[in-house]
Structures are given as structure tokens and as C-alpha cells.
Amino acid sequence: MNRIAACCVGAALLAAPGSARAQDTSHDMRDMNMAMPIPMPAGMKMMPGLVGLVPPVTPFLPGAAAQLAQLPEAMPGTITPLGNGDTLDLTASLVRRTIKGHAYAMYAFNRQVPGPLIRVAQNATITVRFHNRIDLPSSVHWHGVRLDNASDGAVGVTQQAVAPGADYTYTVHFPDAGIYWYHPHVREDIEQAMGLFGNMLVDAPDHDYYSPANQEQVLTLGDLLMQADTLIPFGKEGPDFALMGRVGNVLLVNGEPGYSLRVHQGEVVRFYLTNVSSSRTWNISFGGARIKVLASDVSRFEHEEFVPSVVLAPAERYIVEVRFDHAGTFPLVNAVQAINHFRGEFEPEVDTLGSVIVDDAPARPDHGAAFAMLRSNDSVTRDIDRYRPYFDKPPDKTLTLTVRPAGLPLATVQFMTIDTAYYAPVEWVDGMPDMNWLSTSGEVRWMFRDNATGKENEAIDWHVKRGSVVKLRIFNDPTSFHPMQHPIHLHGQRMLVISRDGVPTRNLAWKDTALVPVGSTVDLLIDASNPGDWMLHCHIAEHLGAGMMMVMHVE
């Protein structure tokens, strides 16, 4: 009997609330929490062959041993300016967090959600003394920052996990301006989702680095999966929702389910956007207000552009400016194309995350004229020019993205064989939450396959010389068991997305994370300038937890 079947027996013993079984306090956590149905999209029922099943993992939620009332209440994130040589104490701990009027035991850095916004000058070096006071092993990864390998926070590659109660000191050097973020690099599916994330805003010395704005807003875009007022537990032994990742149904801006900003008519707001979700890809717009894209992960773009909306895959950052040119209310919107796997239909899905309320007092100063102009960042172009001779060389390395299932419920396997007849390049929402929930890292293995050697994930052993320029071609196999987009993140280096499906990118920015849609081939050019052992992995937390990682050694 496999583990699914064993759990199925346990679930079958569960009766309706009020029954003798439900009142029996002797049953274990598994029965109590994991048998709770997960939220299904409107009009969709759980697949008949899956009713009564639970994921074959022990349910986990933070703070099981803590008294909720005794925990300190989480606070909003504060700006923490740090100078070169400064030290920050960063403590991950349990907090009481109130969402839509209900309190939950969750995690926070320095009791803040998001964690402290570390604001530093470009080229500053700071020391961070990390104190793990949560109930899981943890670490801190400084996402996108080209720092010393020993401070990368990559558990299993650059350090051991920091045990509960233990400490670790990081030295963080910031060679590049822009918006970055920090999060644990162990069980991200739990720790990041439960509140352990924060930004670093790195200021260039040039005060004219971006076009002028009246104010700045740093926004994290995240989500939380709940059934009514209850958090859906995580898998203790490994991630559940291993097929598509955990896609939340409560959308959070800076950890809160509603966002609100008041501005004057004509103001230009510079938004620093970070996708901190486990799996969700966002498509963000501002109620028709004009959006200008300035920068992404590790640099500005060669040219500023006006766009109708901004797509952010997990871990990606975009810096945009938005001008609110008339009084009124501009909704902050996530507008996507949902795919309903059960019905095989696509349908639009639009969620309002908050609003920008514009009064009729005039902006002072009025940056309207500067906003209307699109700047070219010649220094970015000149920097990239040094790499252009490598754009057309044959790939040095090629990877195929695929998945191998083993021991999934029969109904899921049968469904997938017909479901892959159609696929979406990007799955914006979870259109099959039942099948997804029941798949754990025990049954699903997501994979990088090195086409040159046939090796997979951590067995792949790439050694490249420091200073070399590596062209990496990644193909996302649409014929795999369950094809899905993957946001691929490389630690400690910078890279260019030089082409997608053979079409050259016409406006480049240095990136650390690139989305590879289903069926697509993406060519990356890696500037391998930072020595050490660096992870390459999918940033969908559950895909990483289900194996999708490897290490590139820069010597």
C-alpha cells in the first residue's frame, strides 16, 4: 500500500463535524488538518477519484507549541538606512499576524512584515547578524546581490542550515544599484510564505539615476492560501502542492490584503515591485495610468519604455514609474488569463490589490514633462556592448526542464495524460488545486536535465572559469507529465536574456531571474565574474523543494 492509500484510509475515518470522530481529541494532526478540503475555484468540484485523499505528509503550521496570545504582534516594515561598515541584527521569530481580522502564528524578521527595508548606497558593505528564533532551520539568501560566496545563504551549498536558536553572520556587499530582496534558503515554501522576506534598496551615487519622481513606494506582491479563516497547512517532510506550487487565494501587498496610497494630481510615483510569491506570476497595472519601466533585477534597461502592464515571475523585480494625471481612484490590478484544467477553458481573472487615490491638488514639483520623455541609459548599453560579441556563439550549456512523477494518485495520472493535450505558456492561477495539493515532493521530481551528459539536478557538475561568458540555452519541454513555466534564478552572477524562441531581446537589462514559459527556448548569457559555488534553481518554492536545482562552480 502506498502512502496515499494509507492516508486515504485515515481520511475515510473522518466524519462530519459534530460526529463522535470529529470530537475525538486523540487523532493526530494529520487527520485534523490535512483532511480539510482546500478551496476550489467557483463551479469546480474535487475530482471524484481524489475525494477523501490527503497529501502523504505530516501537516505543519508555524508555532504549534506557542500560545498565539503570547506572541508579539507583527508590525509593518520600516526603512532601515545603513552605512558602509554598519551592522544589522536580523532576527527571524514567531509573531502574531492579523489578516482580515483573524490572528495567526506566522514568521517575521525583526517582527516586521515585510522585514526591514535595508537602504544602502551602492558599493556599501554591511554585516548582518542573523538570529534564528523560529521553529525550523533557516538561513538568509541575499537575492540578486553579487556578494562573497560564503554569505550567499544557500543551504547545502555554501552553509549548513542555521538551527533554531543558532546564529550566523553574513557580510553583504552591494556592487549594483536597484531593488533586491532577502529570504531564507531552506523550506522557502513555508518560511517565505509565512512572512520571512524583505527588500534591499541600493542607491546609485548619481542622483539622476532614474527619471524624477514625487515619491517612492516599495511593494512586495505575495499570496496566502486559506480556506475561509484557516491557513492551509504545509508538509512537514517536504512541500505539498508540488505540481504547480502553492498559489494563494488571498493576495497581499506588503503582507496586507489591501493597499492604499494617496497622491496629488499629476504626481509621478516610483514603484519598486518584488514578487515574493511561492508560485504566482503577476500581471500588474494601475487602472490605466501610464507605466514607464526603468529597471529590472540587477540593472536599468538600455531604454525606458511605456508598457500597459508589468509581468513579474516569482523573485523578479521591476522598477517602474507611474503618473497619475487626473483626480480619482486608480485600482492596483492583477489581470491574468486563468486556465480551468477541469473544464479545459481559459477565462480572464482580474483582482484588485488596492488603490491609488488621487486628489485634485497639483503635484509639486510637476514632473510631467520628464515623465513623458523616454530616456536611454547609454552606460547600460556600453556595458552590455562588451558582451554582444558572444550573443551568436553556440550555446556552451543546454538544459531541458521536465518533471518525473512517481506514486501520484491514479486519478491525477489519468487526468494529466489528457490534460497535456493543451497547455498554457504561463499558468497564472491554480486551475487544478485538488491534484496540485495532493502532490508532494515525495511523488513529483522537477528536473534540470543537462543535454550534454544526461545528468539531472545536483548530479550536474558545471565548472566555468571566472571571467568567462557562458551561453546557456534552456528548453521547457511541453510534452512532460505536467508542463509549467519556471522562473530560473542564478545566484551570485548577472545574466542577460538574449533571446526567446530565437527572437533577440531588443531592450536588455541585467537579470538574476528569467521566466521560461512552457514550450519555450530561452538563451541566457551569464557574466560568470564572481567565484564560488552558486545555485541555479527554479524559484517556484515547491519546485525547488522537489529537486529543481543544480550548482555552477565559478573558478
Residues that bind Cu ion (CB under 5 A): 486, 538, 540, 543
Residue 223 in grid coordinates: 499570496
Q: Which is nearer to Cu ion, 494 or 543 (CB)?
A: 543
Peptide bond into 365 cis (omega under 30): yes
Angle (CA) 353-333-98 rounded to 5° is 10
Q: How far is the CB of 197 from Cu ion (least distance, A)?
A: 18
Q: Which is nearer to Cu ion, 96 or 449 (CB)?
A: 449
CB 333 within 8 A of CB 301: no
Q: Which is nearer to Cu ion, 117 or 540 (CB)?
A: 540
Q: Which is nearer to Cu ion, 411 or 541 (CB)?
A: 541
Angle (CA) 501-507-510 rounded to 5° is 90
Q: How far is the CB of 484 from Cu ion (least distance, A)?
A: 6
Residue 80's DSSP bridge partners are 118
Numbers of helices and strands, H then E, in the chain: 9, 37
* Distance from C-alpha of 170 to C-alpha of 151, rounded to nearest angstrom: 5
Cα distances from 407 to residues 1, 27, 483, in angstroms, run 11, 26, 18
* Distance from C-alpha of 441 to C-alpha of 241, rounded to nearest angstrom: 8
Residue 169's DSSP bridge partners are 129
Q: Which is nearer to Cu ion, 184 or 483 (CB)?
A: 483
Task: Compute φ and ψ for 372, nearest 5 degrees.
Answer: -70, -20
Q: Which is nearer to Cu ion, 156 or 257 (CB)?
A: 156
Q: How far is the CB of 540 from Cu ion (least distance, A)?
A: 4
Which residue reads 535595508 in cell numbers?
118
Residue 261's DSSP bridge partners are 356
Q: Which is nearer to Cu ion, 243 or 540 (CB)?
A: 540
468-476 and 521-528: which strand pairing?
A: antiparallel
Q: How far is the CB of 485 from Cu ion (least distance, A)?
A: 7
Q: Which is nearer to Cu ion, 126 or 403 (CB)?
A: 403
Q: How far is the CB of 538 from Cu ion (least distance, A)?
A: 3
Peptide bond into 212 cis (omega under 30): no
Q: Which is nearer to Cu ion, 128 or 522 (CB)?
A: 522
Q: How far is the CB of 517 from Cu ion (least distance, A)?
A: 11
Residue 120's DSSP bridge partners are 202
Which residue reads 534553481 in cell numbers?
537
Of the chain, the end-to-end C-alpha distance in Å amounts to 48
CB 195 within 8 A of CB 163: no
Q: How far is the CB of 473 from Cu ion (least distance, A)?
A: 17
Residue 129's DSSP bridge partners are 89, 169
Q: Which is nearer to Cu ion, 299 or 513 (CB)?
A: 513
462 conformational bin, left if phi > 0, alpha if psi -120 to 50, beta if neither: beta
Q: Which is nearer to Cu ion, 110 or 192 (CB)?
A: 192
Q: Which is nearer to Cu ion, 293 or 432 (CB)?
A: 432
Q: How far is the CB of 543 from Cu ion (least distance, A)?
A: 3
The residues, any chain, with a CB within 8 Å of residue 458's CB and separated by 6 or more, are 549, 550, 551
Q: Which is nearer to Cu ion, 162 or 536 (CB)?
A: 536
CB 292 within 8 A of CB 322: yes
The residues, any chain, with a CB within 8 Å of residue 181's CB and separated by 6 or more, are 143, 144, 197, 198, 199, 200, 220, 274, 276, 315, 317
Q: How far is the CB of 134 from Cu ion (least distance, A)?
A: 25
* Distance from C-alpha of 150 to C-alpha of 34, rounded to nearest angstrom: 38
Q: How far is the CB of 447 from Cu ion (least distance, A)?
A: 10
* Distance from C-alpha of 308 to C-alpha of 217, rounded to nearest angstrom: 19
* Distance from C-alpha of 420 to C-alpha of 113, rounded to nearest angstrom: 39
